[in-house]
Amino acid sequence: MKKVSSEWMKEKNCEIVDPDGWDRTNYDYSFNKEKITYEEFERRLGLSTIQCDGELCVLRKKNENIGCVNTDKNIWRKVEGDYYSPSIHITQDGNIGINVGGHVIVMPIESWFLLGYRNEVTV
């Protein structure tokens, strides 16, 4: 049986944070229009970053199942539902992560403040 990924996703109790398993050049088609098997969906999901509200997330790396719990708390995304849009999250340790264009920088809030302060002073 084949379905589009958005339909397969309804059967999961998790959120895709970064859909690395899907075609980044045509994500809308890859996720919402292309019909794939459940096995292919699981493979793509395994290549992506997922968050499961306190439940175990399974990531596949080199055909090994590695259990993990994503403890990051997403607090803002520029375009809701667009996993490639800029976003901000807080790590379990209380650091702030900023994701722009798939590149993430994580630092303590004091470091973010100093970065902004130094820029303000030099402008």
- The verdict on 63 and 76 lying in the same domain is no
Q: Give the chain's domain count.
A: 2
Taking the model in full, what pTM does it have? 0.49
- The verdict on 56 and 13 lying in the same domain is yes
Q: Do residues 106 and 96 touch, judged by C-beta distance below 8 A? A: yes
- The verdict on 52 and 78 lying in the same domain is no
- The verdict on 56 and 14 lying in the same domain is yes
- The verdict on 2 and 36 lying in the same domain is yes
Tens digits of per-residue pLDDT, 19-36?
888 988 888 999 999 999
- The verdict on 8 and 57 lying in the same domain is yes
Angle (CA) 68 59 32, round 5°? 125
- The verdict on 54 and 23 lying in the same domain is yes
Determine the structural domain holding residue 117 and report its residue range.
71-123
Query: How far is it, in rounded angstroms, from Cα 76 to Cα 85?
Result: 10
Three-state DSSP at 114 gives: helix
Tokens 């790590």, residue? Answer: 91
Which residues are bridge partners to 3 per DSSP? 36
Q: Do residues 56 and 69 touch, judged by C-beta distance below 8 A? A: yes
pLDDT score at 7 = 93
